[in-house]
Chain A
């Protein structure tokens, strides 16, 4: 029972890593998306390289690099900071791809209508393109977020005291052993399901409003 409570107490850290990394990922991915759509090659190429690196290098390597690698230099990150930043970088790569797909899903005529009406680029994207792209991206965004809830456990390797780290610690100290991990699994499911439900509700709502 105390194992359960210990893991339960680590849920906020798991959520903090997840939401933090997702937020970092969204912000970076927005920047990457604009860079990749730019006419300037010197903006496009670095953005593409960043996406490829973010997705091509295993998350665990990113975390070890940011925690130990940068530590050798001037910047010293805490485990939590390195975890959020590392998973944020990886998320940025995937989210940039999701954004790209969302923008592609918006019919070319929508861009043209906005241009022909003389709307500024900001208005075209914020009022016309983004709402439609968001609708197209929502399922992929929700899937990625829920995946991230679980993948945040990778941060345990650099000592972030989230659910898996706590379960591991407890399992070693008590006689419960693997049983603690089953509890952790149950809690992961309990945490993920509400997000899935919210995502499905949002989808239905968007379908209805724009249909």
Chain B
């Protein structure tokens, strides 16, 4: 209510975008009779690394997937990189592609295209989405492969490289489109700890480059040391939000304390 009042001055949608790169207001979503997002509002500033944690089934991934409309919410409003979206209405194709152009995504299951080489995986979207020439796309791809430490794997097929390497390629593929924000949906959950570390290392580097990131994760060290905005979700709502260090050391809610001690001591 308080926030509603704060923003109701100009436009009656509860949003004020320039200060924030990603802004969600009262996002509501059902899966059948299951109320998975209960009017969630979230603001992420440019360059911020926002980690979203919480028990499974809390709605973390669903919330993240609403940002690029892989899930369509029932209602709410959103501004992403200056583009306003009324979530209650279906978005036209053009605006949808525009939105996705601004937002990159990395999945838990990597989702590289298995019939294309590593290089083609990164180059094809650049050519199709940005209209880059084959040469420009290739140059950009190789530059990014260098950045994620996989220059020697350009010609490999995804099934021939490790999970951690696949995920680094997936990050490069998303970065190649020069998004304004990146979404990471449990990027290390399918990896064993050692491979997870190399992916986290790349993510840390991406964060350091100034990229705005929304990360659904169980990696508390990443959330604490790399993240500068922590969101705790439970049962379709954000229950606590703020500075990661502060929440991890002095959670306001008993529920947050419980959850943190469960994941940190496991």
Q: Which of B68, B100, B101, B115 sits near A210, CB closer than 8 Å?
A: B115
The interface centre, meaning the residue of A107, A117, A120 with most chain B CB atoms within 10 A of its CB, is A117
User: Are A127 and B124 in contact, CB atoms less than 8 angstroms apart?
Assistant: yes
Which chain A residues have a beta carbon within 8 Å of chain B's beta carbons? 107, 109-110, 112-113, 115-120, 123, 127-128, 131-132, 135, 209-211
A131: B residues at CB distance < 8 A: 115
Q: Is B173 an interface residue (CB 8 A)?
A: yes
Residue of chain A at shortest CB distance from B159: A211
User: Are A113 and B129 in contact, CB atoms less than 8 angstroms apart?
Assistant: no
| Nearest Cβ on chain A to B253's Cβ, whole angstroms | 33
Q: Which of A115, A116, A210 sits near B114, CB closer than 8 Å?
A: A210
User: Are A109 and B109 in contact, CB atoms less than 8 angstroms apart?
Assistant: yes
User: Are B115 and A116 in contact, CB atoms less than 8 angstroms apart?
Assistant: no
Instruction: Tell me the bound Cα distance from A123 to B104 in angstroms.
Output: 17
A209: B residues at CB distance < 8 A: 115
Q: Is B111 an interface residue (CB 8 A)?
A: yes
Contact status of A118 and B129, CB under 8 A, knowing A112-B107, A112-B111, A131-B115: yes
Chain B: interface size category: 20 to 34
| Nearest Cβ on chain B to A62's Cβ, whole angstroms | 37
Instruction: Tell me the bound Cα distance from A108 to B158 in angstroms.
Output: 17
Given contacts A118-B101, A123-B128, 5 further A-B contacts (CB under 8 A): A109-B109, A113-B111, A117-B177, A132-B114, A210-B159
B129: A residues at CB distance < 8 A: 117-119
Q: Is B125 an interface residue (CB 8 A)?
A: yes
User: Are A110 and B113 in contact, CB atoms less than 8 angstroms apart?
Assistant: yes
Q: Which of A110, A117, A127, A135 sits near B100, CB closer than 8 Å?
A: A117
B110: A residues at CB distance < 8 A: 109
User: Are B157 and A211 in contact, CB atoms less than 8 angstroms apart?
Assistant: yes
26 A-B contacts (beta carbon < 8 Å): A109-B109, A112-B70, A112-B107, A113-B105, A113-B107, A113-B113, A115-B68, A116-B68, A116-B100, A116-B183, A117-B100, A117-B125, A117-B174, A118-B97, A118-B100, A118-B125, A118-B129, A119-B125, A127-B124, A127-B128, A131-B115, A132-B113, A132-B115, A209-B115, A210-B114, A210-B157
User: Are A118 and B177 in contact, CB atoms less than 8 angstroms apart?
Assistant: yes
- Chain B window 99-121, contacts with chain A (Cβ cutoff 8 Å), 1 for yes, 0 for no: 01101110101111111000000
Contact status of A109 and B111, CB under 8 A, knowing A117-B174, A119-B129, A210-B157: yes
- Chain B window 138-169, contacts with chain A (Cβ cutoff 8 Å), 1 for yes, 0 for no: 00000000000000000001010000000000
Residue of chain A at shortest CB distance from B129: A118
Instruction: Tell me the bound Cα distance from A173 to B114 in angstroms.
Output: 59
